[in-house]
Copies of this chain bind each other. A is one copy, B any other.
Amino acid sequence: MTITQLSYVLAVAENQNFTKAAQKCFVTQPTLSMQIQKLEDQLDILIFDRTKKPIELTDVGRKIVTQARNIVNESYRIQDIVDQQKGFIGGEFKLGIIPTVMPTLLPMFLRNFIKKHPKVKLKIEELTTEEIMLRIKDGHLDAAIAATPLEDENIKERVLYFEPFVNYIPKNHRLHGAKKIDVADLEVDDMLLLEDGHCFREGVINLCKTFKNQTEETFQLESGSIETLIRLSNEGLGMTLLPYLHTLEINDKEKENLHYFNEPIPAREVSLIYHKSELKMQIIEALQDVISGVVRGAIAFQNVKIISPLPK
C-alpha cells in the first residue's frame, strides 16, 4: 500500500470515472486501473463496484476512502512541517471568497500579497458560504473569507474586520429625506435583496427581523449581484443595504443616495476561516497580516454593532 495508490483511489472516488481521475493525477488511465487493482488484490476486497455506471464505491470502499483521505491529508503535513521550519511561505494555496466580499476586498489586498509573498500560487474562487464549508472540510480549499460566526467545530475563524451596512436610498423613497437612518426604520417589504444563498441576504433579513419582528414572506425583488441591486434601486424599485466597502466604489451621483446608520451601526463580521487541522498555517497568517493591514486603513468605524449573518 502506498500513498500514491490511496490518492488514486480518492481521485476515482471523487470523479466516479477512471479516465477523468487519471487526468487529475497526471497519469494515464491504465496506471490507475492497475494500481487500484493491485491494492484491491492485496487487501483482497473490491473498493469500487465497476458494474454500476457511473462507477460506485462498495461499502468497504467508502470506509477505505474516508481513511485514505485521512492518510493523504496527513502526508501533506510533512511538507508543511518542513516549510514551517524553513519559514518558507509558498506553494499552491486555494482561497475561497464569498461573492459579496470578493469584488471589493480582493483588489485591495491581492497586489500587496503577491508582492510580499511571490512564491505563493494563489488560486482564488468565488463560492457561497455553504460551498466553502464543504470544500474546507474535504481539503479542496486551504482557507476562505466569509461572514462569521459559522459555529462549525471543524472550522476555525480569525476575524479580519467588521464591515458596517450602509443604506442606499433612491430619490423617490420615503426615507430619502432622512439624514441618518435607524435600524428600526427598515422594512423588509421595501428592501431589495440578493437572491437566496447569499449570506449577506441572511444578514439583512435578520437585521430587519430583529427590530420589527417581520416575517420573511414577501420580498419585492431579488438579484444576484450588488451591482444589479444598485441599478434596480436607481430605477425606483426600493431601497437596499450595501456592505461598506462597496460604497467606496460607486460614482459620485450614486453616493448622494447613501445614508449612514445612527450608532450603534449594524455590521457584518468578515473572517478568514480554515480547517481546524491548521494545515498551511504560515500562509494563512501571512494572508491575515496583509488583509488586516489593508483594511485597517479603509474601515475606521467605532461603536459598531454586530449582527450574525447566518442566524439559523
A residues near B (Cβ < 8 Å) are 1-4, 6, 43-45, 59-60, 63-64, 67-68, 70-71, 74-75, 77-79, 81-82, 85-86
| CB-contact partner of A43 in B1, B60, B70, B79, under 8 A | B79
Asked if residues A67 and B74 are in contact (CB atoms below 8 Å), the reply is yes
Residues of B within 8 A of A81 (CB): 60, 63-64, 67
For residue A66, which residue of chain B has the nearest CB?
A: B81
Give Cα distance in the complex from A75 to B64, angstroms. 10
Residues of B within 8 A of A59 (CB): 85
For residue A70, which residue of chain B has the nearest CB?
A: B74
For residue A9, which residue of chain B has the nearest CB?
A: B78
| CB-contact partner of A1 in B3, B63, B64, B70, under 8 A | B3
- Interface of A, helix, strand, loop or mixed by DSSP: helix
Give Cα distance in the complex from A74 to B78, angstroms. 14
Residues of B within 8 A of A3 (CB): 1-3
Q: Separation in Å of the A130 CB from the closest CB of chain B?
A: 29
Q: Separation in Å of the A119 CB from the closest CB of chain B?
A: 14
- 14 inter-chain pairs at a CB distance below 8 angstroms, sorted by A residue, are A2-B3, A6-B78, A43-B79, A45-B82, A60-B82, A60-B85, A63-B81, A64-B78, A64-B81, A67-B74, A67-B77, A71-B75, A71-B78, A74-B74
Asked if residues A85 and B63 are in contact (CB atoms below 8 Å), the reply is yes
Residues of B within 8 A of A68 (CB): 78
Give Cα distance in the complex from A85 to B70, angstroms. 19
